[in-house]
């Protein structure tokens, strides 16, 4: 049976991102019912949400109060998760004050707080207003959940916290709340006709990352790198074939994967971190083959940047979080495997990365070497373990490197 998300959309420029959330959840086979406030309908037409969700959209525009007084109960009962994105100061204030005066506020009032997730989006000064912060605190105290807005240039021209979290982050949060097994399909031994997986990774839950990440400069330009995702996808596929339950967090790539692999698509490095963190509690092994962008653009623009009569343009870059190092700080009993993409001093730099990021094993590849690295079907790797063991391997297909890495993980002494 499909799981159900009810998405409340309130009026703000971030409404267009809510459409992407519906599309992402629908791809994860989640049924989405959308309730739009009258103000939300001024930003994006209900037809967009109807097309993406394949469900009628509930609005107040033509409905009488009598209609929503009755209908709201059906949707409130249906919601496994009740998401409000974007959530304006207005809806946060209404919920905190117990005001139910339209379809959305009436429906959410009938839902248990733990099922409700709000993704605020508003001007930085509004967000920092003590009344709004007080409402958020009050709701948190009652069990309502919040996905923090990000910092950056806001639609109003101000800079600061208030930009709604990215759709990938919201998708990952909701999927995690719904329980990962729902999206991964029936697990071994559960109903659903899947036979027990046979293989040396049966019972293991593996998180693999693959591909590049992309940092936007403006709506038409971005910075990224040459990763194709082939290495990471090969590892995910080999792990699945050998019986593991695999989650693949993938940057924008042109590859497809087996339907038994749970795939979370992301765009930026921060999206990738959020997706990894959302599943981290439920994995035993992490293999980080992705090439995340190390920097993001601080002075990006929401509109296409125009040329300025030959004048130079400065892009300001700031460091992105290091995903595997962040995970390494709360490693627990997990096995963490990283890659090192170097063009010189391969082994020395790789060992230093393994130490710094708290890894059990690192797969070093010289990306300047013929037959190795980005966007090829082959690789040449050196595997270095925390124990000090190191082995250099000949050029081989990335599909074989994938099995080699899994073999080496099984040999790790814990």
| Gap between the Cα atoms of 132 and 365, Å rounded | 50
CB of 396 to ligand PMT, least distance (A): 13
CB 304 within 8 A of CB 218: yes
Q: Is 251 in the site for ligand PMT (CB under 6 A)?
A: no
Binding string, 271-300, against ligand PMT, x = CB under 6 A?
-----------------xxxxx-x------
CB 218 within 8 A of CB 303: yes
Q: Which is nearer to ligand PMT, 5 or 207 (CB)?
A: 207
What is the C-alpha radius of gyration for the chain, rounded to an integer number of angstroms? 23
Q: Which is nearer to ligand PMT, 7 or 323 (CB)?
A: 323
| Gap between the Cα atoms of 127 and 407, Å rounded | 50
Beta bridge partners of 158: none
CB of 295 to ligand PMT, least distance (A): 9
- Of the candidates 216, 277, 322, 400, which one interacts with ligand PMT according to CB under 6 A? 322
- Contacts (Cβ under 8 Å, ≥6 apart) of 307: none
- Contacts (Cβ under 8 Å, ≥6 apart) of 188: 194, 195, 196, 197, 202, 203, 245
Q: Which is nearer to ligand PMT, 69 or 375 (CB)?
A: 375
Of 326-365, binders to ligand PMT (CB under 6 A) are 338-341, 353, 365
| Gap between the Cα atoms of 367 and 193, Å rounded | 43
> Pick the catalytic residue: 15, 156, 257, 276?
156
| Gap between the Cα atoms of 229 and 143, Å rounded | 39
CB 338 within 8 A of CB 332: no
Q: Which is nearer to ligand PMT, 174 or 236 (CB)?
A: 236
- Of the candidates 88, 228, 366, 408, which one interacts with ligand PMT according to CB under 6 A? 228
CB of 253 to ligand PMT, least distance (A): 8
Stretch that binds ligand PMT, among 36-44, 144-152, 225-233, 238-246 (CB under 6 A): 225-233
Number of residues that bind ligand PMT (CB under 6 A): 27
Confirm whether 276 is a catalytic residue: no
179 in helix, strand or coil?
Answer: coil
- Of the candidates 107, 124, 373, 385, which one interacts with ligand PMT according to CB under 6 A? 373
Which whole-number Å values give the CA distances from 336 to 57, 323, 357, 374, 406, in the listed order?
44, 12, 9, 22, 12
CB of 234 to ligand PMT, least distance (A): 8
- Contacts (Cβ under 8 Å, ≥6 apart) of 355: none
CB of 14 to ligand PMT, least distance (A): 26
| Gap between the Cα atoms of 355 and 332, Å rounded | 16
Which whole-number Å values give the CA distances from 377 to 233, 267, 408, in the listed order?
11, 23, 21
CB of 292 to ligand PMT, least distance (A): 4
| Gap between the Cα atoms of 391 and 285, Å rounded | 21
Sign of CA dihedral 19, 20, 25, 27: positive
Of 17-56, binders to ligand PMT (CB under 6 A) are none
Q: Is 269 in the site for ligand PMT (CB under 6 A)?
A: yes
CB of 137 to ligand PMT, least distance (A): 32
- Of the candidates 230, 240, 267, 351, which one interacts with ligand PMT according to CB under 6 A? 230
Q: Which is nearer to ligand PMT, 22 or 367 (CB)?
A: 367
Binding string, 375-394, against ligand PMT, x = CB under 6 A?
x-------------------
User: What does the binding site for ligand PMT look like in residue numbers (CB under 6 A)?
Assistant: 211, 227-231, 269, 288-292, 294, 320, 322-324, 338-341, 353, 365, 367, 373-375
Q: Active-site positions? A: 156
């Amino acid at each position: 049976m499909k799981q159900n998300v009810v998405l409340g959309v309130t009026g703000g420029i971030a409404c267009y991102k809510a459409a992407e959330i519906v599309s992402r959840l629908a791809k994860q086979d989640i049924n989405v019912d959308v309730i739009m406030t009258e103000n939300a309908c001024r930003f994006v037409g209900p037809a967009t949400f109807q097309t993406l969700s394949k469900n009628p959209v509930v609005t107040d525009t033509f409905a009488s109060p009598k209609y929503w007084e009755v209908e709201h109960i059906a949707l409130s009962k249906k919601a496994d998760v009740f998401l409000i994105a974007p959530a304006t100061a207005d809806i946060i204030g209404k919920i905190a004050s117990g005001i139910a005066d339209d379809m959305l506020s009436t429906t959410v009032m009938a839902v248990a707080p733990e099922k409700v997730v709000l993704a605020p989006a508003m001007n930085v000064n509004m967000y920092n207003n003590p009344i709004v912060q007080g409402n958020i605190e009050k709701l948190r105290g009652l069990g309502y959940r919040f996905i923090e807005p990000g910092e950056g240039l806001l639609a109003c021209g101000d800079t600061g916290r208030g930009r709604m979290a990215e759709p990938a982050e919201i998708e990952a949060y909701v999927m995690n709340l719904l329980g990962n097994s729902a999206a991964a399909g029936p697990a071994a031994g559960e109903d659903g006709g899947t036979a027990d997986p046979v293989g040396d990774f049966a019972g293991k839950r593996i998180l693999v990352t693959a591909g590049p990440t992309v940092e936007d400069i403006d709506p038409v330009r971005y910075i990224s790198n040459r990763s194709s995702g082939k290495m990471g996808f090969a590892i995910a596929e080999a792990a699945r074939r050998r019986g593991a339950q695999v989650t693949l967090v993938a940057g924008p790539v042109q590859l497809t994967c087996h339907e038994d692999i749970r795939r979370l698509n992301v765009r930026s490095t921060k999206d990738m971190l959020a997706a990894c963190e959302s599943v981290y509690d439920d994995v035993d092994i992490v293999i980080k083959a992705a090439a995340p962008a190390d920097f993001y653009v601080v002075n990006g623009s929401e509109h296409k940047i125009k040329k300025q009569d030959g004048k130079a343009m400065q892009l300001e870059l700031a460091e992105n979080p290091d995903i595997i190092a962040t995970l390494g700080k709360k490693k627990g009993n997990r096995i963490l495997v990283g890659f090192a993409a170097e063009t010189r001093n391969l082994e020395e730099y790789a060992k230093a990365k393994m130490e710094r990021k708290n890894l059990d094993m690192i797969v070093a590849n010289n990306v300047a070497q013929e037959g190795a690295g980005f966007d090829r079907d082959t690789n040449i790797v050196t595997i270095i373990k925390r124990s000090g063991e190191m082995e250099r391997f000949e050029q081989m297909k990335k599909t074989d490197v994938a099995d080699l890495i899994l073999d080496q993980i099984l040999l790790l002494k814990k």
